[in-house]
Amino acid sequence: MVITCIVAGGSGTRMGHTVPKQFLPLLGAPVLVHTVHRFLEISDNILIGTHPDYVEETKQMFPQEKVTVLPGGKTRMETVQELVSALHCVEDDVIVTHDGVRPFVSARVLAQTVQAAQQAGASGVFVPCVDTIAVSEDGAWLKQVPPRNKLYHVQTPQTFLYGTLKRLLPYAHEGLTDLCSLALERGENVAMVEGDYYNIKLTHPDDLVQAEQICRRYFGTGQY
């Protein structure tokens, strides 16, 4: 089975709205609806970890029988832990984890990340950095400029066999937001899947303008 866990418990304060960004409208439908829609075809079940104040509202948005809505935790990692703890899986079931405010993952990426996890136990989605990246410890003095050809932006989905993810999650610790980083810490190999540059995470107000353009270009009107 393929089970998708959508992390949508954030408050979205950087977006500057009174409601969390996953509920903001994007071409007539909430951002979260766009996100979940990408996973309906590939998933046997979908779990959404939403903001505790929006559980009932989120349930009303998803009448599909395969979709279950649960209250999320205080952090992204806590939400993942809550969702995974609610699962009843076998070791080789595939667990896809994804950001609720990353509504433009492609069918190609979904298929490849599931296949990679089935083969390697863990997979992540990445795109090469197009900008030079600088490292500073204090924000005032430059320390290092790593070679760009070795740097990648991390996206989601991050996908695991259930047995692998169950083994990793007890070692999650404060400040860790990335499951692939946790896998590396615990000595797991993580297969890399090439992402798409339009698979953006909506964070700032200007992102909504870009999101409308992406939605029209790659996904049509977005009416569901």
Q: Is residue 136 part of a domain?
A: no
Query: Nearest 5 degrees, angle CA 115-CA 194-CA 186?
Result: 70
pLDDT score for 20: 87
Cα–Cα distance, 151 to 128 (Å, whole number): 6
pLDDT score for 13: 58
Domain that includes residue 115, residue range: 2-126+154-219
Q: How many residues does the chain have?
A: 224
Euclidean distance between the first and the last CA atom of the chain, given in angstroms as a whole number? 25
pLDDT tens digit string along 117-150? Answer: 999 999 999 999 999 999 999 999 999 999 999 9
Q: Is residue 139 part of a domain?
A: no
User: Measuring CA to CA, which residue among 192, 197, 38, 214 is closest to residue 120?
Assistant: 192
Q: Is residue 158 part of a domain?
A: yes
pLDDT score for 211: 95
Q: Is residue 185 part of a domain?
A: yes
Count structural domains, the chain. 1
Q: Is residue 117 part of a domain?
A: yes
pLDDT score for 168: 97
Q: Is residue 17 part of a domain?
A: yes
Q: Is residue 133 part of a domain?
A: no
Q: Is residue 131 part of a domain?
A: no
Instruction: Please list the ranges in the chain whose pLDDT falls under 70.
Output: 11-17, 221-224
Q: Is 93 helix (H, G, I), strand (E, B) or coil?
A: coil
State the CB neighbour count (10 A cutoff) for residue 132. 10
pLDDT score for 12: 58
CATH code of 204's domain: 3.90.550.10
The whole model's pTM is what?
0.94
